[in-house]
Amino acid sequence: MSVNNKDTAAYYGRMIAYNETKAYDKVIPDSEAVIANGDEKSDEVADAYAKQASAYNELAKSKKDKSLGAKSLTAMKKYIALKPKDATGAQFYQDLVSLYSDPTTQIQEYTQALRTPPTDPKAASNLYFNRGAAYSQTKQYDLAIADFNKVATLTPSDKEVFIYLAQNQAAKGDRDGAIASYSKAIALNPENPDLVITRAGLYVDKQDAASFAKADADLTMYETKVGSTVDPEVLLLHAQIKRSLGKTDEAIAMYLRHLAVEKNPDQISVSTKQLGGVYFGKKDYANAIKTYSAYLSKNGKDVPVLVSRATAYRLTDDTDKAMADANAAVGIESNNANALTERGFINNKIGDKVGEADPDKAGAAWDASIADCDKAIAANGKYALAYYCKGFAAYKNASDKGKADVKYLDTALDAFNKFIQVAAPTDPLIASAKSAVADIKVQKGG
């Protein structure tokens, strides 16, 4: 199709045809010809700017070239100057501003537009929304929140506004406000599980039992929504929350569910170690030992876990394996108060087992316990269990089951009194320590 260089109508017609066939690279020169030759205030020239803006925008997207986007914005701004009352054009211009301007420029553009805001609530809402997003990008969270609140007032059923509002409230540190906004967003977007998991994370961050309970409910909801695609990390978090809430059996089930799907060796270790702790807390020492053993097969130098397994062995009366673990722990950290005290308790157990049958062996075990507890106290003078352990070792050695030496009574009395001073007031062992103190005083005749 050939056209006269001055035939504006012909250029305009061909521009329309190219636009309809999406030949955007050809729309641009014809739109320039219409603009150059037409009446600058005519509808044709205005439309040429609009078609040019659209063409540049499409080319910018297809070529991923923001410089073409900038040209689209320039053309659309000229269109708006000619057609200031075109709401559709104004909305397209705002979209281009969001796409191709820096946040500071966006704020300026939207603020200018809001000096005479549109009467249509949706159009005004879009302006506030876009400016809020720009404020958010520049970390002006209070201003962003104010704009998103305006959007929520103008268009309360907007599915996105409460998401953006929540994100900015969270960024500002207003956790409760963010939770409230996510709750509204979830109601408007029930199909979006990501909102639920995000709210759960905010509940977790509050670090209190009531919030953990709400996080537990959210995580259950999220897992139901996503089914088998749930991220193992979520399952581990959920297990930890249930553990914190004291839901022992549910925590165990969740840890096992996590371990069934987790592939990351580091996360497997974390989960296995924590699961062992849950079994231990439940006094299911057989499973605690089994789980700790799986963990220690790959993390053999973890002193706290060695000590925990030693305790589990001791509490199941396997003093040989308990001693092996305690010795291994002390071998790694010779001044570890927990490990030394646990070895002291194991020796106390050995003394109790041999008792009257072999007072010399029992006495040697209790002396070894006292020595380890003294080392533990030297390492950490506030570790209450070391005093308790030492107290009973000395108390037993004063009897005829051990050394039958009353000098141990003074050692025991001092250790028990120190334990009572250092222990937490709610420590359940205080009662037995006080009972031992009373008995020692009777034995000493006072």
Amino acid found at 13:
G
Percent of the chain whose predicted confidence (pLDDT) is above 90: 91
Question: Where are the domains positioned within the chain?
Answer: 1-100, 302-446
Axis-axis angle for helices 141-154, 121-137 (nearest 10):
160
**Is 1.25.40.10 the CATH number for 1-100?**
yes
CA–CA gap between residue 232 and residue 381 (Å, rounded) = 41
Tell me the DSSP string of 76-134: HHHHHHH-TT-HHHHHHHHHHHHHHS-HHHHHHHHHHHHTS--SSHHHHHHHHHHHHHH
Return d(Cα 301, Cα 320) in angstroms, integer. 19
Place of tokens 């034995």: 443
| Residue 415, pLDDT above cutoff 70 | yes
pLDDT in tens, 133-178: 999 999 999 999 999 999 999 999 999 999 999 999 999 999 999 9
Type of residue found at 436: A
Q: Do domains 1-100 and 302-446 have the same CATH topology?
A: yes
Query: What is the tens place of the pLDDT at every residue in 103-126?
Result: 999 999 999 989 988 888 998 999
CATH of domain 302-446: 1.25.40.10
| pLDDT digit string, tens, across residues 182-237 | 999 999 999 999 999 999 999 999 999 999 999 999 999 999 999 999 999 999 99
Q: Is 60 exceeded by the pLDDT of residue 278?
A: yes
Give the C-alpha separation, 320 to 365, whole Å. 13
309 near 351, Cβ under 8 Å?
no
Output the six-digit token pair for 360. Answer: 């010399």
What pLDDT, in 10s, does the model give residues 252-269? 999 999 999 999 999 999
What are the CA-CA distances from residue 94 to residues 130, 162, 187 (Å)? 8, 21, 28
439: CB partners within 8 A, 6+ apart? none
Q: Give residue-wise pLDDT tens across range 336-374.
A: 999 999 999 999 999 999 988 899 999 999 999 999 999
* Residue with tokens 């699961």, as numbered in its chain: 275
